[in-house]
Amino acid sequence: MTDAESGAQGVESDAARRRRRAQFLRELHEARELRDRVQPRRARAARMRQAMRMRSFRW
C-alpha cells in the first residue's frame, strides 16, 4: 500500500468515525429525552443542578 492509499483510507475512517459519533450523540439525546419524560422529577432536579453549575461558573 502506498502513502496515497493509506492517506485515503485514513480520511475514510475519519469520516466513518464522525458518522458513528453523530449517530451515538443522536441516540444519547433521544435516550435523555425518553428518560426525562419517564422521570420528570429527576429531570427537573438535573436541570436545577445544571443551572447551579452554570451560575457558579467563572469565565
What is residue 57's predicted lDDT score, i.e. its pLDDT?
Answer: 81
Total domains present in the chain? 1
State pLDDT tens for residues 9-50: 556 799 899 999 999 999 999 999 998 899 989 989 999 999
Whole-model pTM over 0.85 = no
Distances from the Cα of 25 to the Cα of 16, 18, 21, 29, 30, angstroms? 14, 10, 6, 6, 9
Residue 36 vs residue 1, higher pLDDT: 36
* Rg of the chain over all Cα atoms, to the nearest angstrom: 20
Cα distance between residue 32 and residue 29, in whole Å: 5
What domain range is 10 assigned to? 3-56
